[in-house]
Structure 1
Amino acid sequence: MAETDDSDKTEEPSQKRLDEALQRGDVVKSQEVNTWFVMAGATLVLMSFSGGMSRDLSTTMRGLIANGWQIRVDGPALPHLFMTIGGEIIAAIGLPFLILIIAAAAGNFVQHRLVWSVQSLTPDLSKVSPLAGLKRQFSMQAVANLAKGLVKVVLVGAVLAALLWPERKHMEALVYADPAALLPFTASLALKLMGTVVAMLAVVAAGDYLFQYRQWYEKQKMSLRELKEEFKQSEGDPTIKGKLKQIRQQRSRKRMIAAVPKASVIITNPTHFAVALQYDRGMPAPICVAKGVDALALKIREIAGEHRIPIVENPPLARALHATVEVDQPIPPEHYKAVAEVIGYVMRLRRAVARR
């Protein structure tokens, strides 16, 4: 089968098409959104935990340096030393590191729900094809990535320059400042820079996500042929459905014809409609055992004549019953009175015939 040209994909994707894309791991993903979440998490860590981390780590290192001459490193003492230092470092950076992991994961979760798919891991020869690689280099995605890179470099560079330029004299004075003053100044300046970068990247991430979503949605669009094929797969081939419907109608007709001899009376139009009703004493209401129009109505009347079933002409009642009652179902209450008169007439007629 020939591959569908992208220019033919003019129809909106069906929900089935979108679900299949999700199952094979084809989802909307903007790397800029992931970058923004990581940067925001790093800014939160710097703002909330930098002081605690620096104090805990400096205490550990200060104690290690101050008491280094009496720390034993022979035999089992060395592994114990490594475990102690490692535990203190992990305790100091564990929570900030966990926040960064959560931020990195959140960057994916906000774009799409969790997907388990091995199809994306399946080797694809098109990824190593020189021609396919060349097309990717000059694709709309490549142009968008280049534009994003230039925008980020220009914006971030301009903002950093605007923030650092007023601080140039303070930064020059740091050469002669007390080393203890370097960390607070550096942390404050870094926090200001990262906060500004996060605010700018939020705009870039939002724009990139909208672009990626549009690209992904356009890729999921379908051609008319694909829509027809999907309809056949989900709803069935119309030809086969028509054939099955015809078979069901034939079987239903045979069942109705076989049930006509059980009828108590046939109500007709007289030529276009025929409704066969069965009523026995003790039944709450008469039941329709067969109904039909034209040829089927004629067949019902023929079988009724063969089995000497009374045929009563009542055009309004025949049309009403044919429209409102289903086969093997009792007649509606609104027709009780009219049908009761017909059945009563039939019973009186039978008693009169029996007396003769």
Structure 2
Amino acid sequence: MAESDQERTEQPTEKRLSEAREKGQIARSKELATALVLIGSAVALMLVGGELATAIALVMKTSFSLDRAEVFDPHLMLHGIGSMLLILVKPMAWIMVIILIAGLIGNTLLGGVAFSWQAAAPKFNRLSPLSGFKRMFGIQAVVELAKGIAKVLVIALAVWWIFKAKFGTMMNLSMQTLPGSIDNALHLLQWLFFLMTLSLLLIAAIDVPFQRWNHVKQLKMTKQEIKDEHKNTEGNPEIKGRIRRLQMEMTNRRMMADVPQADVVITNPTHYSVALKYDSEQAGAPIVVAKGADVIAFKIREIAQHYEIPVLESPAVTRSLYHTTKVGAQIPDGLFVAVAQILAYVFQLEQFNKGQASRPRKPSTNLPIPDELQY
């Protein structure tokens, strides 16, 4: 087999991607998830931080404001602890909800939502020391190391830039009085934390395209795999061709069995044959009971002659019927006049053969056919 057929140079098919997704093998970016979780945490502190600080201050004040009865009564102490926890529940719940939403978005933004039992199943091959060494010193490990170093550098540069920009403001905090200085310090810390977390988006912006590329690279296929998948999905071309031939043969046999019921067979005269039947009791349009080209056309004429069915040459009408009708369907409206003249001749010829009428004149070979039905 050619060496090029064994190289993974082909893009993964939809089936390959779908199977990988079922196994839990999808593109994920830990850097994007981490960045959004930290940004969500910073946003949560900015939105609910004031309420949380107030709740903590109230808890601290309540904790250090105990009278003698509360100190010596365990029940009152437990009640006080419960009350203090209730004070913290609301702001903490809001913070947790915001972080949870950020975590869900961060983990599903790339790759979407997917759950796989196969991915959740234990993989004992990961316990192999050899596999562990391969992961430690593989390309993926080098990439992770590079990302770790990049994160440290980016965050360090972000912290340096922020502290340089806000150094004067931080120094002025020592000149302010309580409790305003504490509020300003908390507000400053919130913004410093938010700006530092934004710096992680730079790492995520690099990691997301890399994870997409790496995911596709891992799923690339060889040309032989593409061929095998096509065979398994669509079926072997040789078997499909044989099935089509068998179906065509069965259809032709059924069609040939209907030829003896026809009233007339019109021909091209050599390439096409069309067998027509008209049921006067149903008062409908004539029906095509059989049609064919070349060998099948000759077989239709042969059966018609055997059963003494009239065979007429009308090249234009035959071509039009062959190309515009299906077996078992009525003829198009535009061919009513032409076919009616042919059937009229056939029925008059039948009467002549019975001695009940004079010999009819054959219809013209240039019967009226609309332009859109001419072939």
Amino acid at match of 1:330: Q
Shift in alpha-carbon separation, 1:45–1:6, aligned structure 2, 3 A: farther
1:254 CA displacement:
0.9
Q: Deviations over 1:59-117 (max 9, x none)?
A: 12211211253326656545434432322221232211221121111211222322121
- Structure 2 equivalent of residue 34 of structure 1: 33
CA RMSD of aligned residues (A): 2.7
Contact in 2 for aligned 1:287/1:329 (Cα 8 Å):
yes
- Structure 2 equivalent of residue 90 of structure 1: 89
Helix, strand or coil at the partner of 1:66: coil
Q: Deviations over 1:34-53 (max 9, x none)?
A: 11111111211222222211
Helix, strand or coil at the partner of 2:28: coil
- Structure 1 equivalent of residue 211 of structure 2: 212
Cα distance in 2 for residues equivalent to 1:221 and 1:6: 12
1:199 CA displacement:
2.5
Pairing 1:1-356 to 2, within 5 Å after superposition: 8-67=7-66, 69-71=68-70, 74=73, 76-165=75-164, 180=179, 183-281=182-280, 282-355=282-355
Aligned length: 353
Gaps of at least 5 residues in structure 1 are: none
Helix, strand or coil at the partner of 1:274: strand
Q: Deviations over 1:263-305 (max 9, x none)?
A: 0000112233211100121432111111122222222122212
Cα distance in 1 for residues equivalent to 2:172 and 2:354: 129
Amino acid at match of 1:249: M
Helix, strand or coil at the partner of 1:114: coil
Shift in alpha-carbon separation, 1:224–1:96, aligned structure 2, 3 A: same
TM-score, normalised relative to structure 1? 0.89
Cα distance in 1 for residues equivalent to 2:13 and 2:67: 69
Helix, strand or coil at the partner of 1:275: strand
1:345 CA displacement:
1.0
Amino acid at match of 2:279: D
1:315 CA displacement:
2.1
1:124 CA displacement:
2.0
1:166 CA displacement:
6.6
Shift in alpha-carbon separation, 1:311–1:172, aligned structure 2, 3 A: closer
Contact in 2 for aligned 1:126/1:132 (Cα 8 Å):
yes
Contact in 2 for aligned 1:25/1:116 (Cα 8 Å):
yes
Q: Mean Cα displacement is larger for which, 174-183 or 323-332?
A: 174-183
Identical amino acids, percent of aligned pairs: 33
Cα distance in 2 for residues equivalent to 1:7 and 1:228: 12
Amino acid at match of 1:247: L
Q: Deviations over 1:223-259 (max 9, x none)?
A: 2222222222322221221121111111101101110
Contact in 2 for aligned 1:301/1:311 (Cα 8 Å):
yes
Cα distance in 2 for residues equivalent to 1:179 and 1:5: 75
Shift in alpha-carbon separation, 1:216–1:270, aligned structure 2, 3 A: same
Amino acid at match of 1:294: D
Q: Mean Cα displacement is larger for which, 168-177 or 330-339?
A: 168-177
Shift in alpha-carbon separation, 1:48–1:6, aligned structure 2, 3 A: farther
Q: Mean Cα displacement is larger for which, 84-93 or 284-293?
A: 84-93
1:170 CA displacement:
7.6
